[in-house]
Amino acid sequence: MSLVEITHLSRRFGNVQAVDDVSFSFDAGQVFGFIGPNGAGKTTTMRILAGLDEPSSGDCRIAGLSTIDDADTVARRIGYMPDDFGTYPNTTVFEYLDFFARAYGLKGAKRDNALADVIDFCQLGGLSEKLVTTLSKGMRQRLGLGRTLVHDPEVLILDEPSAGLDPRARVEFRELIRLLARQGKAVLISSHILADLQEICDAVAIIELGRVVATGTVKDIKRDVQARVVERARAEGSRAVVELRIAQPVERFPNILAEQAEVSEVEIHDTIASLSCPADPEAQAALLARLIAAGLPVCHFATRDHNLEDLFMHLTEGKVQ
Amino acid sequence: MAAVNETPAAVPPAAPPRAKRPGVLERFAEWTSERSNPIVVRYARQQLRSRGFIILFSTVLGFATLFAITVGATAAERSEGDAALTLFGLLAAIWAFAVWVFEPIAAFRATANERDEKTWDLVRLTGLSPGRLIWGMFLASVLQGLLYGAAIAPFLVMAYLLRGISLDEILFVLFLIPVAGWCASAGAIFLGSVSSTKGARNALGVLVAIVAGFIWFSTLTVWLNFDFTGHFVLSGLIDGPGVVLLSNFAVIWIGAMLVLGGTVLRHPASNRSTAPRLYAWLVFLNGVVWSLFVGDPFISEALTVAAFFGALAAFLLGIFAITEDYTITPRQYRETRHMRPWQLPIIFAPGAARGRAAYLALVAAIAAVVAVAYALDDGGGRLREPMVFTILICAHGTLLITICDAIARKTQRLDNPVMRRVLFVSVFASLAFIGSVITSLAGDRDPIAALTPIPGMWIIADRPGRFEEQLLLIVIAGGAAALILLIQAIRGTTVLERTVATKKAPEPVATREPATEPAE
C-alpha cells in the first residue's frame, strides 16, 4: 500500500466533469508531478486530496485513511499550498506562522522550535517582523511553504508553487522541494514550468479534460510516447527531426545531405546538422547507411530526445472544459 | 527539519547571555496567550496595528474628554443632576456607536475575510474546529468592546460624581450597551460565515452596516434624553427582573448565532445536524424551565410563551432537518455510531429520517406544553390567541415542508438539501405574500386568506370562533403531513459508498532514484 492513493476519483460540477476516474499513487520520499493545461482538473484533484472538497465518487487515502471520511485525522498529515493563498492584513511573517502553529495545536517550546525550524528552512529569518502584505511573490511563496511545513506533515500538496517566480527563486524553491523529499516527505506538485518538474519528479501524471492520459516515471512515459510516435510514423508516414554529428569536418557534408531525397529542412553548423527525415526507424536506418556509404564519418545520429514539455504537448490536445 | 545550508559548525557557539527572568505580568501574558483561542491572539495582534481601531479608539476617548470638559465647565450654570444626565447620555451614545456599529461591522468583516476561500481553506486544514473559530471571532469582538468600555469608564465615574444619576442606571447601561453590542456582533459573525461568494458577502456587509447604523441612530433619542428615558422608559427593566430576562434572551441569541455560524462552516461530509437540532430543543426547554421556576403565578402564560418560541425553533429545525439527505456520509455514520444512547441519536443523529423524528418530537413536546397551559388557564381567554398562533405555526410548517420536500425530491434539479430549503422558503414566502394581497383586497374576513401562512395565522388567531372550519382544516392537514413524516422517519438511513470497490486500486509508481540519494 502506498502512502498516498487516489482511487477512481471523479468530481462533477453541474454539467462539467472536472475530474474523471483519476487514479494514481506515490510513496514517502517521492516527488510526484501533476501536469495538465488550465482547467484540466489538477487543482480540483489536489483540493479533494487535501480534504477541502468532496468527490462525486472515488476516494483519496493517506496511509489508508480517507481524506474525506477521516478528514480531521488526515488533515494533520497533509500540508497544502494552494496556487494563490490569502494573508491577513496587519500581520507580520512571524505572527502569520505563529497563528497557524497555534491553530495546529502546537504549544510552548514545541511551537517555538517548529517556528524556528521553518523560518530557518525557508530562509525567512530577516523577514520575521515584516508585514506579510508587503512581501514579494518569491518571499510569499516561501512563507506559504513555511506555513505548509509548520506542523511537519508527511504529505505535501503544492499547487503551482513556482508560478510567477523569477529563475533564481525557482531554482531555490526546487532545491527546497528536493530536500523535503529526501527528508521522507511525499510531495505532489503541479506546475506549468515543466522543466522544473522534469528535474525533481520521480513520476508524473499528465491530465487533460479531467482524465489521466499518462502516468509513471518520465522515462516510462517517454518510452511509451516514442513507441506511439513510431507506430504512427509507420502508419501515417510522418517525419522526425534528427540530429546528426560527424567526427571531423567534411567539405561535401552539405552536398551529401542535399542529395538524399527524403531529407529536408537541413541546418548545418560545422560538424553538426539538424534535418528532417521520415520518422519510420527502418527508413532512418537506410538513410544512415547511405550517409556512411557516401563517406561521412557519422558519430551521432538520433532523433531529438523528448523532454517533459514535448511529452505534454504530445499527450494533450490543449482542450479545456 | 534541516536547514538548506547544512554546514557543520566549525566553532562551538558561544553560550547565550543569561536571559532575564520574565516578570509576573509577562508570565501571566504568556500563560494567557498559550491557552487562548488562536483566532483571538491573531485578531488582537491585528487590531493593535489596525488603523481603523486606533482611530476609533482615539475618537471615542477624544469625544469623551471633550464632553466631560464641556459639561464640567457648564455644570455650575445647570440645575442639579442635569449635567450628569447630559454627560451620561453623550457618553452612552458614543460608546453605543463603537460597540453597536463599529464592532459588528468589524466582526462581520473579520469573519467574511476568514471565509474568503484563499484563507479559509488554510484555516480548515489546521483542524481548528469551526466552533472554535466562530467562538474566537466572538471573543475577539467582546475584547474589542471591553477596550472601548475601558476608555469610557473613567468618564462614567465622573458622571456619577456629578450627581443626579443613580448607580443602578449606570450599571444597567454598563450592562445593556456591551451586551447588545455582543448580540449584534454574534449576528454579524453568523452573516459573515454564511457565504464564501464575494457578491453575497458584500451585500450582507452593506446589510449589517445599515441595520447596525439604523439601530444606533434610532436609539440616540434614548441616550440624549436620558433624564426621561432613564427614569421612565427603562425604569421597568432597571428595577424589575428585566436584566435577567434580557440576559437570557442575549445568551439564547448569541448561542443561536454562534451554533448556526459554526454549523455553516463545518465540512459538508461531517455531522452538521446535531448541534442545531439540539439548540432548537434547548431554546424550547429554556422557555419551559423559566416558566416552571419563575413563571409563578403566571405559569400558563409563561408556558404559552415558551411554546410559541419553541414553535419558532421547531419551524427552523424543520427547514434544516427534514430537507437533509436520507443517505449520510461514512464520516457522519461513524460519528453517529459513537453517540451514546443518552445522546438520543434517534433524533439528533444526521439524516433526513432522524431529522423528521427530531422535528416531530419537538412539535409533540410543544403540543403537550400548549395542552398543559390550556389546562392551567383560568378560562379568561387571554391565552387563546398565542396558543392558536403556536398551533398554526406548527401545522402550516409541517404541511408545507412535507409537500415542498416531496416535490423537491421528485425533481432532479431541486433534489439536494439547499434547493429543498430554497423551494420551501420560496413557497412559504409566496403564499404569505398572496395571503397579504387577498387580505388587502378582500379584507380579513376572507376564508381563503385565512388559509395562508402568516396573514392567515393572524386572522384565525385573532378570531378563532369565526374561522373554526379553517382552523380545523389546517390542523387536520398538518396532522396528516405529520403522519407522512412519521412514516418517512421509520425509513432507514443509508450510508454513502464512496469507493468503487469493483475496480482495482492503482499500482504504486516506481521510484526513479533512492529517496536518500544526496542532492547534486
Nearest to A259 by CA among A294, A310, A216: A294
CA distance B115 to B192: 7
A146 interfaces chain B, CB cutoff of 8 Å: no
Enumerate the residues of chain A whose CB falls inside 8 A of the CB of residue B329.
68-69
Given an 8 Å threshold on Cβ–Cβ distance, is B122 in contact with A69? Answer: no
B458 Cα to chain A: minimum distance (Å): 42
Q: Beta strand pairing status for A203-208 and A31-35?
A: parallel
Q: What integer pLDDT is reported at residue A56 of this predicted model?
A: 83
A100 interfaces chain B, CB cutoff of 8 Å: yes
What lies within 8 Å, CB to CB, of B71 at 6+ separation is B83, B86, B87, B90, B162
Nearest to B38 among A86, A103, A152 (CB): A103
DSSP structure class, residue A136: -
What lies within 8 Å, CB to CB, of A168 at 6+ separation is none
Enumerate the residues of chain A whose CB falls inside 8 A of the CB of residue B515.
28-30, 181-182, 184
More confident residue, A127 or B384: A127
Q: What integer pLDDT is reported at residue B378 of this predicted model?
A: 72
Interface of B with A in 144-203 (CB under 8 A): none
B437 Cα to chain A: minimum distance (Å): 37
* Strand (E) or helix (H) holding A298: strand A298-303
B319 neighbors B429 (Cβ within 8 angstroms): no
A93 neighbors A129 (Cβ within 8 angstroms): yes
ipTM: 0.75
For A41: left if phi > 0, alpha if psi spans -120 to 50, otherwise beta; the answer is left
* Strand (E) or helix (H) holding B393: helix B384-410
Q: How do the residues of chain A divide into helix, strand and coil, expressed in percent and rounded to 5?
A: 40, 30, 35
Q: Helices B455-462 and B468-490, interaxial angle, to 10°? A: 120
Q: What integer pLDDT is reported at residue B255 of this predicted model?
A: 95
Q: What integer pLDDT is reported at residue B230 of this predicted model?
A: 62
Q: Which three cell numbers stand for residue B45?
A: 495582534
Q: Which parts of chain B have pLDDT scores under 70?
A: 1-21, 80, 117, 226-241, 379-382, 497-520
CA angle, residues B10, B15, B19, in degrees to nearest 5: 145
Enumerate the residues of chain B whose CB falls inside 8 A of the CB of residue A66.
330, 498
Q: Beta strand pairing status for A16-26 and A65-66?
A: unpaired
What lies within 8 Å, CB to CB, of A24 at 6+ separation is A6, A32, A205, A212, A215, B506, B509
Give residue-wise pLDDT tens across range A82-113. Answer: 988 888 888 999 999 999 999 999 988 899 99
Give residue-wise pLDDT tens across range A227-261. Answer: 776 666 666 667 778 889 999 888 888 989 888 88
Interface of A with B in 72-91 (CB under 8 A): 72, 75-76, 78, 80, 82, 84-91
What lies within 8 Å, CB to CB, of A161 at 6+ separation is A81, A83, A141, A144, A145, A173, A177, A189, A191
Interface of B with A in 198-257 (CB under 8 A): none
Q: What integer pLDDT is reported at residue B20 of this predicted model?
A: 63
B60 Cα to chain A: minimum distance (Å): 22
Q: What integer pLDDT is reported at residue B107 of this predicted model?
A: 92
Residue B146 burial (CB count, 10 A): 13
More confident residue, A297 or B383: A297
CA angle, residues B461, B464, B466, in degrees to nearest 5: 130
Interface residue of B125, B201, B512 to substitute, partner A, most A CBs within 10 Å: B125
Given an 8 Å threshold on Cβ–Cβ distance, is B124 in contact with A52? Answer: yes
- Tell me the backbone φ, ψ of residue A243, rounded to 5 degrees: -100, 130
B518 interfaces chain A, CB cutoff of 8 Å: yes
Nearest to B43 by CA among B152, B147, B136: B136
Give residue-wise pLDDT tens across range A139-175. Answer: 888 899 999 999 999 999 999 888 777 788 888 888 8
What lies within 8 Å, CB to CB, of B154 at 6+ separation is none
B272 neighbors B263 (Cβ within 8 angstroms): yes
CA distance B202 to A89: 18
Residue A321 burial (CB count, 10 A): 13
What lies within 8 Å, CB to CB, of A103 at 6+ separation is B38, B123, B126, B127, B128
Interface of A with B in 27-66 (CB under 8 A): 27-30, 32, 47, 50-52, 54-55, 57-59, 66
Give the three-class secondary structure for A318: coil
Go through B294-326 and write b for each residue having 16 or more CB atoms within 10 A of its CB, e for each that does not. ebeeebbbbbbbbbbbbbbbbbbbbbbbbbbbb
Give the three-class secondary structure for A92: strand
Give residue-wise pLDDT tens across range A41-67. Answer: 899 999 999 988 888 888 899 988 888
Q: What integer pLDDT is reported at residue A314 of this predicted model?
A: 64
